[in-house]
Amino acid sequence: MLADWIAVDWGTTHLRAWAMSAAGEVQATAASDAGMNGLSRDGFEPALLDLVGGWLAEGRQTPVIACGMVGARQGWAEAPYRAVPCTPLDAGAMIAAPCSDPRLSVRLIAGLSQASPADVMRGEETQIAGLLAARPDFDGVLCLPGTHSKWARISAGEVVSFQTFMTGELFALLAEQSVLRHSVAAAGWDDDAFAEALSDAISRPDRIGARLFTLRAEALLSGLAPEAARARLSGALIGVELAAARPYWLGQDIAVIGAAGIAGTYVAALTAQGALPQQYDGDEMTRAGLTAAHAQRKGASQ
Amino acid sequence: MLADWIAVDWGTTHLRAWAMSAAGEVQATAASDAGMNGLSRDGFEPALLDLVGGWLAEGRQTPVIACGMVGARQGWAEAPYRAVPCTPLDAGAMIAAPCSDPRLSVRLIAGLSQASPADVMRGEETQIAGLLAARPDFDGVLCLPGTHSKWARISAGEVVSFQTFMTGELFALLAEQSVLRHSVAAAGWDDDAFAEALSDAISRPDRIGARLFTLRAEALLSGLAPEAARARLSGALIGVELAAARPYWLGQDIAVIGAAGIAGTYVAALTAQGALPQQYDGDEMTRAGLTAAHAQRKGASQ
């Protein structure tokens, strides 16, 4: 099985690739943990060949389109940020990565930047392009929850502005590395505890600093269940994010893009606030965005 | 040099001891990193003997009074929490730790608990007792900044209520382990950056979630100095704490107890808000509190 072209999502800690047909269908998938963090500049091409070498035809170049931290300053090659307002993709701004294997032709998608308030994204612009490929007239707000949640205002096919929240990373640090790790379960959930903590945090986000240690104290004093503590920690942090992001989502058409679990949590939270978000799968949007990028590259080179 | 009695501050990661004279003077000091975290239950006595064995007379018991996590469930022996409102110390609630060396007589000071909102402290009650030994008529609010900052309302010699903020731990996790570690200096400071971030955070604490990643983005986009980023992160987190603790300190007599650096930072922050805090050294208050505890024990046993 040979690929017509290869779609790649290359982040800080992961590398995923899809062998695509000329008709835009996924023929094969592959993944490894060869993320940007573990690679020196000359380690990217071997890591990619390890994963997709079997999909490459001899005697011709197979186009590879990659998004994510692979295009950061510490990545394979730097694809400089494009400043918003702008379309999520621009064929001319896709940087060629240096390759020694003649079968490879690799392009890296540029991230987006915002001057004030200062902000950056790498990878999410591709998911945004994926959504716009499916809904070219979308006018509203996208929420992309994750380690670093992004909120983006979309209008007339452009990213108008965006804002990053470190909610996922804060949750992981607090749940796994802080004193709360003794009281917060590594898995498990409690819907009611989440809903209550979310509601409290949205209505009084200024009290976040006072809420965290309460989880530890309740565990010590009254046996708070670790699963409930996990749900409350998540609810408190997401609530603070939703409160600060309210100017983004209030009264807007909202789409939430992400893996089923976390996206579903945000959809539930926004719905509880009276919003009517639609949910999209993060992987599908990534592939759709890479497909749009490939089509733009083909158009640009013809 | 033999001690009349020994004062001990035994926390999660440190062990400090003072050889005290009958007149209450410090004759010698010693410290090690044998904190509670690294010890099993039968490791406490040897760790203490390693540090203070040379201060013990043969043929009689030397009283040792210890505060801190040594009295936690995972410590040498559990000294159950005492519920507020209550005095910071109670001679009857100092638990005897099991010792095999006949020269030792060890008592552990109990921490304090609060049912609602749930909260606990271990160690700070001794510093509070130290302040009350110097100012028995103090009526107001104590701020004890640190890994877990405590705010305590004091009236008529009792701790009326208290609240814990994880500010110091959040700062360490974000500065050293999150994506911000690339942009935040390990040392260094910028007074103006701190003051501005503090003021922003106090007036809009609900926006904390949106402020953090800005430090990373400004470093990438406009070369924010790592020392300024460090001061801004600190100002943002302390500002959120001061905003949530405002019901505690507004219009109150305030004393800040802690090491010179962090206590000075809080004093400056509170002063900028129009408060008139007084500053006390944390180590001195710990020793004064242990001295008060020793006097209470002597009184109780006579």
Task: Kindly tell me the burial class for residue B279, based on how many C-beta atoms sit within 10 Å of its own C-beta (0-12, 13-18, 19 or more).
Answer: middle
**Structural Rg of chain B based on CA atoms:** 21
A220 touches chain B (CB under 8 A): yes
Task: Give pLDDT tens digits for A68-126.
Answer: 999 999 999 999 999 999 999 999 999 999 999 999 999 999 999 999 999 999 999 99
Task: Give pLDDT tens digits for B224-269.
Answer: 999 999 999 999 999 999 999 999 999 999 999 999 999 999 999 9
Q: CB–CB of A208 and B205 under 8 A?
A: yes
Measured CA to CA, the distance from residue B132 to residue B124 in angstroms comes to 12
Selected for mutation to probe chain B from A36, A69, A82, A119 (highest B CB count within 10 Å) is A119
Measured CA to CA, the distance from residue A299 to residue A277 in angstroms comes to 34
Q: What pLDDT sits at residue B300?
A: 76
Q: How many CB pairs under 8 A join A and B?
A: 134
Q: What pLDDT sits at residue A206?
A: 83
Q: CB–CB of A119 and B222 under 8 A?
A: no
| Helix locations, chain B, DSSP H | 44-52, 124-134, 167-176, 191-203, 208-222, 226-244, 246-249, 260-272, 282-301
- State mean pLDDT over B26-52: 96
Task: Give pLDDT tens digits for B176-212.
Answer: 999 999 999 999 999 999 999 999 999 998 888 889 9
Q: What pLDDT sits at residue A138?
A: 98
Of B119, B208, B245, the CB nearest to A214: B119
Task: Sort out which chain A residues have CB atoms less than 8 A from B222's CB and list them.
Answer: 118
Of A114, A173, A244, the CB nearest to B178: A173
- Percentage of chain B lying above the pLDDT 90 cut: 95
Measured CA to CA, the distance from residue A157 to residue A86 in angstroms comes to 8
Give the confidence band of B302 by pLDDT, cuts at 50, 70, 90: low
H or E element that contains B54: none
Nearest to B248 by CA among B69, B157, B117: B117
Measured CA to CA, the distance from residue B194 to residue A84 in angstroms comes to 29
Q: What pLDDT sits at residue B298?
A: 87
B216 touches chain A (CB under 8 A): yes
Helix (H, G, I), strand (E, B) or coil at B265: helix
Q: For chain A, which residues score pLDDT lower than 70?
A: 302
Q: CB–CB of B209 and A178 under 8 A?
A: no
Of B117, B206, B245, the CB nearest to A244: B206
Whether the per-residue pLDDT at B13 is higher than 80: the answer is: yes
Task: Sort out which chain B residues have CB atoms less than 8 A from A119's CB and list them.
Answer: 213-214, 217
Q: CB–CB of A120 and B220 under 8 A?
A: yes
Nearest to B7 by CA among B18, B16, B15: B18
Q: What pLDDT sits at residue B208?
A: 87
Please state, rounded to an integer, the average pLDDT across all residues of chain A: 96
B213 touches chain A (CB under 8 A): yes
Q: Which domains are assigned to chain B?
A: 5-122 (3.30.420.300), 164-281 (3.30.420.310)
Q: What pLDDT sits at residue A302?
A: 63
For residue B128, what are the CA distances in angstroms to B113, B119, B224, B276?
Answer: 14, 16, 40, 19
